[in-house]
Amino acid sequence: MIIYKAELIYESLQCGNNDKETLNPEIDDKKIVRIINDVNDDLGFCCGLDDNLSVAVVSGEYGRWDIVWACNLEKITLKDCEKWLKNHFLDNYAVKKVVVDNIHEISVKEFNKLLDKANDKNFYSGWNIVNKLGLDYFENRRFRVQEHVYRQENITKRKIKSLADEIMADQSLLEEIDRIYSRQNEKKYYGNPVHYVIKAGTVQAANDIISLLVFALKANKRLLGGRVSYVNNISEHCCDDEEFQQMFKTGRGSAVAIDMSGTDEDHGVYASAYREVVDFIAKSVMDNQLYTLCFLVQISENPGFSKGLIASVQEDIHLIEICEGRGDKEQAVNYLEKLTTKSQFKASREELERALPSQTKTFTATEVYKTYNKWFSNGLKSKAYKAYKAVEKVAIKEKKKGNKPYEELKNMVGLVNIKALVDQIINTAKIRQSRSKMGLDNYNVSQHMLFTGNPGSAKTTVARLMAEILKQEGVLETGHFVECGRADLVGKYVGWTAQIVQKKFREAVGGILFIDEAYALVDDTNSFGAEAINTIVQEMENRRDNVIVIFAGYPDKMEHFLSENEGLRSRIAFHLDFPDYNAEEMLQILELMVKNKGYVIDDEVREKCLDIFKCACGQSEFGNGRFARNLLEQAMMKQSDRLIKEFNGKKLSRKDLISLTAEDFSVNAEKMYKKPKSAIGFV
C-alpha cells in the first residue's frame, strides 16, 4: 500500500445535489466544513478504481483542498489515481477546472495524523479509513515503528556509485548495485527476488546502506514506493501480534527494516526468551516475502536475536548480505565532512582530521559516526551552551576485561590434560591452514568432540573459550557458540525434529554447536530422539567444514549414547575427559572466585575450606566448581547477616565489607558433605 498527499485546485465548486451554492470567498467557515463533509461522504474507504483507492479531504479553503489517498499500485497506477480524482470532481460537482498538484508520497504516520486533524476540524471521521486499512499500529508497546520516505526518483547508476563512495561502501554493496542496474533485469515490478541482511556497527551506518539500496531499487522499478518502516525495540512478548503482521501487509510494494537487537531490558536472554519471537517474525517475513521487501539489520555490538532469525528464514528466502564499508583517512574525513553539513556548527577540514583517531589508518562507517557524535556533543558545549564548556565528565573507571581466551584457558585451575589436547587441536588446525596456503593436499579431518565429566567440571566454560580461541586463530569463521539440550532439538510433532536440528546447525555455522546432556536423546520414550540423532549425524557430515559439534555429559551415560549410533562415534575426533577437581584445586578455584568478587580471606578460612573440600571430594557428583561457587555465595550472605547484627547501624569500614571469616563459611553447603556421626540405638 502506497500513500500520497496532494493539492486539489479547483474553480467554482458546487457540492452535493442538496446544496447548489457556489463555493466562493464569501462562504463562511461553517459552510466550508459542511461542504467538505459532504465530499468526504462520497469518498472514504475503497471509494474507487475497483476498491483499490481510498481518499479523504483533510483540509481546505476556497480554491484549494489538501487530499490524501492510499492505493494499491500493484493493480493501478499513480496516473490512474490522478485521473480518477479529476473525473470524480468534474462528474459530481459543478467545477470548471480541477488540477491535482504537488503529488508526493507520505508515511503511514503522517497519513494518520492528517486524518486525525481532519477529524478535529469536523471535516471527516478519519479513523474510519485508518481502522479499515489496518494502519493503527504506532502505539504498540511490543515493538516500535519509525518511517522514512525516500522520494528521489530515477537516480542513475553513476550517481548511486558516487553516493556509495561517500559512505565508503563495502564491496558487497557495490556488487549489489551492479546487479540492481544490470540490463539483464526487466524494469518492471513483479515482486522481490531477494531480501537483505545489513551488518553494521550502528543504526546510522545501517540506514545509510538501506537508503542507497532503496534509491537504486526505486530507480529500477523494483519498489512501488519509497517508504521504509523501521521496526525496533522488539520485545520478547511480540510473538503473536496482529498489528505486527498488519504492518508487514501494509508494506506491500515498499520495505520493512527489522532491527534484530531486541529491547534493552531483554539483552542477554535471546536464546530462550526470543525463541517464539524469532518463529513469529520469521513467519511474517516469509508470508509477505513476495511483495514486502525486508531488511534484516544486525548491529555488531548487539546482534540480539539475529542468528536465530537469519537461520530460520535463509532456507526459504534468498538473503544477500551487505556489510558496512571501510575507508582510508581521506575518505573518512570526506564522510565526516558530509555529516557535519547537516549540523548547525561549522568545522574546518583540519579540525575534522584531528577529531579522527591519529593512529588509525582505516576507518569503518561506524567509527566515523562515533567521531561525528563526539564532535557534535563537544560543539554543543563549546559553541551553543558555553556555560558547560569547562564541565568535566564524571570519571568512572571501567573494569578491565579478563585475559584473552587462550590465556584465560591456560589460567584455569587444573585441567592439565585438557589444555594439552586443546593445544593439539589448535596446532592441527594451523598446519591444515598452512598446507592450504601452499597448495598442498589437505587431509579433511573431523573436528567434532566429546566432553565427558561430572557437573561443574568446566565443560561448558572450556567449550566457550575454544570457540573464541579457534575464531582468533582463523579456524572458525564466526566463533558463534550455540548451546542446546534435548528440549531444543526434539519437536512436538512428526517431521518437526529434523527441521529443528537443521536450524540449530545453521545458527552455529562458523562456530561450535554444544549439545549438553546429549544422552537424553537416547533415553527418549518416543522416536523423536532417534530422529534427532540421525539428523545430527547427517548434519555433522554435511557441515563438517564449518560447524564443530561438541557433545557433553556424564561419562557412563555418554558411552551408552555413542553405542546407540556407531556412525556418531566414528565422526568424533577428540574425546576430552574432565576429571573431578581435588581439594587443593577446589581451594584454588574458591580463591579465584573470592578475588573476582572483591573479597579477601585469611589462612584460617583457607584451612576451613580445604577441610570442607576434602569431605566433598570424597563424594560422588559433589558439583566441582559449582559447589565452590555455592559455598562462596552462602558465605557472602552469612557475612552480610553478621555485619548487620554486629554493627547495628554503626559505620562499617572497607575492611569489614570485604573480609570473609571462617565463621562465614559455616553454612548449608559445608554441612552437605560432613561425615555423619554414628547413630545410637537400633537400626
* pLDDT tens-digit readout, 149-167: 998 778 999 999 999 998 8
Instruction: Supply the range of the domain harboring residue 312.
Output: 144-324
The percent of residues above 70 in pLDDT, for the chain, comes to 84
DSSP string, 636-656: HHHHHHHHHHHHTTSPPPHHH
> Are 331 and 320 in the same domain?
no
36-to-19, 45, 147, 186 alpha-carbon distances in Å: 12, 16, 29, 43
CATH of the domain at 646: 1.10.8.60
* pLDDT tens-digit readout, 560-602: 888 777 778 888 888 888 888 888 888 888 888 898 888 998 8
> Are 371 and 264 in the same domain?
no
Q: What angle do CA 519, 490, 545 make, to 5 degrees?
A: 75
Q: What is the pLDDT of residue 620?
A: 67
Q: What angle do CA 430, 436, 439 make, to 5 degrees?
A: 145
3-state secondary structure 590-625: HHHHHHHCCCECCHHHHHHHHHHHHHHHCCCCCCCH
Is 513:504 a contact under the CB 8 Å cutoff?
yes
Is 198:230 a contact under the CB 8 Å cutoff?
no
For residue 357, is pLDDT > 80?
A: no
3-state secondary structure 670-683: HHCCCCCCCCCCCC
* pLDDT tens-digit readout, 424-476: 877 877 777 677 667 666 666 678 899 988 877 788 888 988 888 888 877 78
Q: Count Cβ atoms within 10 A of the Cβ of residue 147 and give its class: 0-12 exposed, 13-18 middle, 19 or more buried.
A: middle
> Are 432 and 551 in the same domain?
yes
Q: Count Cβ atoms within 10 A of the Cβ of residue 501 and give its class: 0-12 exposed, 13-18 middle, 19 or more buried.
A: buried
Residue 138: inside a domain, yes or no? no
Q: What is the pLDDT of residue 21?
A: 41
Q: What is the pLDDT of residue 380?
A: 64
For residue 1, is pLDDT > 60?
A: yes
Q: What is the pLDDT of residue 381?
A: 62
Residue 641: inside a domain, yes or no? yes
Q: What is the pLDDT of residue 60?
A: 81
> Are 359 and 313 in the same domain?
no
Average pLDDT score, the chain: 81
Mean pLDDT of 32-55: 84
322: DSSP letter: E
Q: What is the pLDDT of residue 683?
A: 32
CATH of the domain at 36: 3.30.70
| Cα–Cα dist 202/267, whole Å | 16
Residue 393: inside a domain, yes or no? no
| Cα–Cα dist 480/290, whole Å | 31
Q: What is the pLDDT of residue 400?
A: 46
Q: What is the pTM of this model?
A: 0.58
Mean pLDDT of 479-505: 81
Q: Is 106 helix (H, G, I), strand (E, B) or coil?
A: coil
Q: What is the pLDDT of residue 30?
A: 73
Is 53:81 a contact under the CB 8 Å cutoff?
yes
| Cα–Cα dist 173/665, whole Å | 60
Mean pLDDT of 330-352: 78
User: What's the domain count of the chain?
Assistant: 5
Residues forming beta bridges with residue 360, ordered by sequence position:
none
**Single residue among 324, 345, 365 that ends a domain in this structure:** 324
Helix (H) or strand (E) holding 575: strand 572-578
For residue 223, is pLDDT > 90?
A: yes
> Are 51 and 181 in the same domain?
no
Is 198:209 a contact under the CB 8 Å cutoff?
yes
Q: What is the pLDDT of residue 272?
A: 45
Residue 61: inside a domain, yes or no? yes
Contacts of 676 (CB under 8 A, 6+ apart): none
Residue 611: inside a domain, yes or no? yes
> Are 467 and 371 in the same domain?
no
pLDDT band at residue 264 using 50, 70 and 90 as cut-offs: very low
Residue 52: inside a domain, yes or no? yes
Contacts of 78 (CB under 8 A, 6+ apart): 4, 71, 103
Nine-digit cell string for 229: 518502516
Q: What is the pLDDT of residue 673?
A: 59
The helix/strand count (H/E) of the chain reads as 27, 20
> Are 199 and 86 in the same domain?
no
pLDDT band at residue 148 using 50, 70 and 90 as cut-offs: very high
Q: What is the pLDDT of residue 379?
A: 64
> Are 627 and 570 in the same domain?
no
pLDDT band at residue 257 using 50, 70 and 90 as cut-offs: very high
* pLDDT tens-digit readout, 497-512: 888 888 888 888 888 9
Query: What sign results for the dihedral spanned by CA atoms 265, 267, 272, 273?
Result: positive
What is the rounded end-to-end Cα distance, in angstroms, of the chain?
Answer: 83
> Are 103 and 173 in the same domain?
no
| Cα–Cα dist 336/345, whole Å | 13
Q: What is the pLDDT of residue 665?
A: 84
**Single residue among 297, 324, 351 that ends a domain in this structure:** 324
Q: What is the pLDDT of residue 158?
A: 94
The percent of residues above 90 in pLDDT, for the chain, comes to 20
Nine-digit cell string for 578: 574432565
For residue 214, is pLDDT > 90?
A: yes
CATH of the domain at 268: 3.40.50
Residue 126: inside a domain, yes or no? yes
Mean pLDDT of 239-248: 81
Nine-digit cell string for 647: 554493627
Is 190:74 a contact under the CB 8 Å cutoff?
no
Nearest Cα residue to 189 out of 211, 214, 218, 228: 218
Give the chain's radius of gyration (CA, Å).
33
pLDDT band at residue 671 using 50, 70 and 90 as cut-offs: low
CATH of the domain at 492: 3.40.50.300
> Are 80 and 106 in the same domain?
yes
* pLDDT tens-digit readout, 397-423: 444 444 478 888 887 877 787 788 778
Residue 398: inside a domain, yes or no? no
Quickly tell me which residue has 557495490 as its cell: 174
Query: How, if at all, do strands 53-61 and 97-105 pair?
Result: unpaired
> Are 110 and 234 in the same domain?
no
Nine-digit cell string for 299: 548491529
Is 70:220 a contact under the CB 8 Å cutoff?
no
> Are 496 and 617 in the same domain?
no
Nine-digit cell string for 54: 481510498
pLDDT band at residue 102 using 50, 70 and 90 as cut-offs: very high
Phi-psi region of 453 (alpha: psi -120 to 50; beta: other; left: phi over 0): left
632-to-411, 466, 597, 644, 664 alpha-carbon distances in Å: 20, 27, 10, 19, 9
Q: What angle do CA 170, 284, 230 make, to 5 degrees?
A: 50
**Single residue among 133, 167, 196 that ends a domain in this structure:** 133
Q: What is the pLDDT of residue 140?
A: 66
* pLDDT tens-digit readout, 610-650: 888 888 776 766 666 778 888 888 889 888 888 888 887 77
Q: What angle do CA 34, 36, 39 make, to 5 degrees?
A: 115
Nearest Cα residue to 55 out of 100, 93, 20, 91: 100
* pLDDT tens-digit readout, 530-557: 788 888 888 888 888 889 999 998 888 8
| Cα–Cα dist 529/350, whole Å | 66
Mean pLDDT of 52-79: 89
